[in-house]
Structure 1
Amino acid sequence: MTEYRIERLGHQGDGIARGPLFAPMTLPGELVTGTPDGQRLEGVKIVTPSPDRVAAPCRHFKSCGGCQVQHASDDFVETWKAGIVAEALRAQGIDAEIAGVTTSPPRSRRRATLSVRRTKKGAIAGFHGRASGTIVEIPDCQLLHLDLMGAIPVAEALAVAGGSRKAELSVSVTLSDAGLDVAVRDGKDLDRDLEVLLAQEAERLDLARLTWGDEVIAMRRAPGQTFGPARVVPPPGSFLQATQHGEAALLAAVQKIVGDVSQVVDLFAGAGTFALPLAKNAEVLAVEGDKAMIAALDRGWREAQGLKKITGVARDLFRNPLLSDEFRGIEAAVIDPPRAGAEAQIGELARAQVPVIAHVSCSPVTFARDATRLIAAGYQMGPVLVVDQFRWSAHVELVAGFRLT
């Protein structure tokens, strides 16, 4: 059988041999055998392992698609993720300082979306298999917080109650200070009988909140999240940083970049991850496209003690970005856009010449594009901190500061 040398690791976590041929669960420098199938090597066997290869800590690793790089040492993964960021910036002509990589510990994920399907005998819940639509059960998952593991039987019970054997349910589960917050998509259409049954299941399963599609079936306890001194009850299925560790790392970096100012704008503010802690020292204009999240942020601010004024604005920053003259008086901006970035809003920030910008991103490529625009407008980029909330995955998050020179 033909042997292949793995030359590098791709951005999705597969080893890449000359061709290119993609070989899952391999590492640079390894000599492997396999059978080419298009651009993939199938039936890969390791002839000469890398010194960075380790035994995967999770017994589901080979079949589950939730993780890509459990076979690599922590040091290797950190170097790889820092390299992804540096490479994206170099592609835009930026030679950046990578300040370091902070990685969330195992079993710290506080939110996840489970795939669930009814079976003849009950239901099966887990993550999709590697390059497969098959659901893999994950009773010993090393990603999910131990308190979130209880969501697996919950998801199965809900599939039995309201799922179809012809379609998968998508069950988003989040840890809150009141227990599990569960939002289900793709279940059967609600009618009175199903609504009663689901409410009974929410009681039996001791759920804080259960949402079915767009309908809140039961809110037995308000599922709160703590942002700084405030308690917020986000709308069902809202974005939340994946781990408390990752959120704390991003927040600390943002606070350091923003510094001691009196007027801050938080763009793509969500339910207040950054806006509420920053309001301990500064007045904040919080802008977010989701009206329900802005309403939750506002309630959290009004019920908290010791915070300065937060003005919440519901506004689609993709179609209707804040214009340069709307930043008058703003001393620092925080921006945390979705993966697609925020090209139009970055352009207005650059024109406004806001003195300090803390840019959080979950896409090194769109971050590098935005950074290029800001540097061209006279900003100096500070060190980049890589925050790895999605341990053992190909996902990369980061934060960096920009200051006018």
Structure 2
Amino acid sequence: MSETEKILRVAAKGDGVTASGRHVALAAPGDMVRADGSIEPGSHHAEPVCRHFGKCGGCELQHLDEASLAQFVTDRVAHAASGQGVEPAQLLPAHLSPPRSRRRATLHAARTGGAVQIGFKERRGHKIVDMRECHILRPELFALIAPLRKLLSAKRGKFSSNIALTLADQGVDCALTGYSPEGLEETEALTDFCRDHGLARLMLDYGYGPEAFWEPEPLTATLSGVPVALPPAAFLQATVDGEDALTSAVSGWLGTSGQVVDLFSGLGTFAFALPAGTQVQAVEAARDAVQACQSAARRAGRSLEAIHRDLFRNPMRAEELAGFDAAILDPPRAGAREQVAQLATSAVPKIAYVSCNPASWARDAATLQQAGYRLAELRPVGQFRWSTHVELASLFVREG
């Protein structure tokens, strides 16, 4: 490069991009890239708030200001749609979750050079960045990092562990893999740790799956005002704020529907967000989630039937979908190719499709569009703040 170039946008993996197509790490829209590769910050370049930024893989976009961060989230979703020939009738403003709002995260721990390190892995590497501050985790989760480091420091020898933290109604749910207490002394120390730090639950995996080591009372997660039992490793939206944005969009679109089928329903995040009088059939492959959802609906007096069914192997067929006024779809990152193929040939008037992967969603969106559905509204959501991970909610309406 022989002259200064301007950063025009941020690519999917977080690099700034110039008109010539050059990708520049940690560059924001409006930055100028000099001939020697150095960056002259522009008006959208923000000062990172965390000392670990640039190395830690937990955040990739702290160098963007609020406007360019929202634009990045919007562009990820809009470009995925247009790449498949899908254009929304209305593209809603992006919703961004605030700092320190993440209620679940998986960290890594290991003894390195005699010291125990806990944190996310490096941005583009495998080493652990020892977490001394964090601006994305809920304070209740971050408060456990130093005590966990002290606890694990007492463990003899080398070890490597994953630490899954989730904030439940009763407090922090912690799951450790690759770690187990040896002998009475370590077992008692672990019990004291749980009690002293108010853990709601501690799960240990001894190689046969997670088992509860500590759980003074059953855990719940409240979804749209309904407490639902929280099975180990159950899926929750990353932030309460992001969950509210997604459920508000879905309930706003489908609130007047009398009968709704909720596909890949999980614990009932979207089912419970619908008006109480809605007749809901919630379909999910995880048996513990089905049981938790059904029990919560029964206690809350909700008209909800939870059904166990693997929608990848056995999608609901078009004839089974007859009679439903609307469908909700919230599949894993791979999307829902088989289920969408059945929806495409159905007569369901409205489909609310929530996704954590714009690429697989766009592929499915094209299938629906080709079958006569119109993308009426599209809502980008950035609940993984300062990350390239983007989510969305969308409404498809059957034409004619």
Other-structure match for 1:58: 50
Per the alignment, in what secondary structure is the counterpart of residue 195 of structure 2?
helix
1:27 maps to which residue? Answer: 28
Per mean C-alpha deviation after superposition, the further-off stretch among 11-20 and 369-378 is 11-20
Cα pair 1:230 1:300 within 8 Å, conserved: yes
The answer for the alignment partner of 2:13 in structure 1 is: 12
Q: CA deviation at 1:74?
A: 0.7
1:39 aligned partner: none
CA spacing shift, 1:121–1:221, aligned 2, 3 Å: farther
CA contact (8 A) 1:122 1:156 kept: no
Aligned to 1:141: 134
- The answer as to 2:98 corresponding to 1:105 is yes
Is the Cα–Cα contact under 8 Å of residues 356 and 402 in structure 1 kept in the other structure? Answer: yes
Q: Is 1:183 paired with 2:175?
A: yes
Match of 1:93 among 73, 85, 96: 85
Give the TM-score taking structure 1 as reference length: 0.89
- What is the match of residue 74 of structure 1? 66
CA contact (8 A) 1:114 1:155 kept: no
Q: Distance in 2 between matches of 1:215 and 1:163?
A: 22
Pairwise CA distance, 1:111: 1.0
Unaligned runs of 5+ in 1: 36-43
Q: CA deviation at 1:356?
A: 1.0
For the 8 Å contact 1:34–1:45, the answer to whether it is kept is yes
* CA pair 72-333 structure 1, distance change in 2 beyond 3 A: same
Q: Compared with structure 1, are the counterparts of its residues 348 and 194 closer, same or farther at alpha carbon in structure 2 (3 Å cutoff)?
A: farther
Please give the per-residue CA displacement for 1:22-76, whole angstroms capped at 9, x wherever unaligned: 43211245333698xxxxxxxx531x32221111122221322211111111101
**Cα RMSD over matched residues?**
2.5
Match of 2:305 in 1: 311
Kindly state the Cα deviation for residue 193 of structure 1 after the two structures are TM-superposed: 7.6
1:231 aligns with 2:227: yes
> Counterpart in 2 of 1:38?
none
What letter corresponds to residue 266 of structure 1 in structure 2?
D
Looking at structure 1, the residues matched to 156 and 314 of structure 2 have their Cα atoms a distance apart, in angstroms, of 39
Deviations for 1:350-373, whole angstroms, at most 9, x for unmatched residues?
212211111101111111111111
Q: SS state of the match for residue 367, structure 1?
A: helix
Cα distance, 1:273 vs. partner?
A: 0.7
* Structure 2: 5+ residue stretches without partners: none
Q: Which moved more, 1:132-141 or 1:281-290?
A: 132-141
CA 1:263–1:192 in structure 2 vs 1: closer, same or farther (change >3 Å)?
farther
Instruction: State the 1:322 CA deviation.
Output: 1.1
2:198 is matched with which residue? 206
C-alpha distance in structure 1 between counterparts of 2:35 and 2:218, whole Å: 53
Q: Distance in 2 between matches of 1:146 and 1:67?
A: 17
C-alpha distance in 2, partners of 1:383/1:233? 32
Separation (CA, whole Å) in 2 of partners of 1:297 and 1:164: 42
Alignment equivalent of 2:387, drawn from 386, 393, 397:
393
Report the Cα offset of residue 106 of structure 1: 1.0
Q: Cα distance, 1:187 vs. partner? A: 2.6
For residue 182 of structure 1, report the CA deviation from its aligned partner: 0.7
Matches for 1:259-338 after TM superposition, within 5 Å = 259-278=255-274, 280-304=276-300, 306-308=301-303, 310-338=304-332
Instruction: Please list the CA deviations of residues 251-277 of structure 1 after superposition, one character each: whole Å capped at 9, or x if unmatched.
Output: 110001112122111111111111123
Query: Is the 2:87–2:375 contact (alpha carbons within 8 Å) kept by the matching residues of 1?
Result: no
- Code of the residue aligned with 1:11 in structure 2: it is A
In 2 relative to 1, CA 62–356 (structure 1 residues): closer, same or farther, beyond 3 Å? same
Equivalent-residue separation in structure 2 for 1:120 and 1:207 (angstroms): 29
Match of 2:149 among 139, 156, 161: 156
Change (3 A) 1:290 1:217: same
Distance in 2 of aligned mates of 1:163 and 1:340: 40
Shift of 1:192: 8.1
The Cα offsets for residues 113-154 of structure 1, whole Å up to 9 and x where unpaired, read as: 111113566522111122122222333311111222112134
Task: Give the residue type in structure 1 aligned to 2:107.
Answer: L
Q: Counterpart of 1:391 in 2: which secondary structure?
A: coil
Is 2:96–2:242's contact at 8 Å kept on the other side of the alignment?
yes
Alpha-carbon distance change, 120 to 398 in structure 1, aligned in 2, over 3 angstroms: same
Q: Tell me: CA distance 1:22–1:163, structure 2 relative to 1, closer, same or farther (3 Å).
A: farther
Shifted more, 187-196 versus 10-19: the winner is 187-196
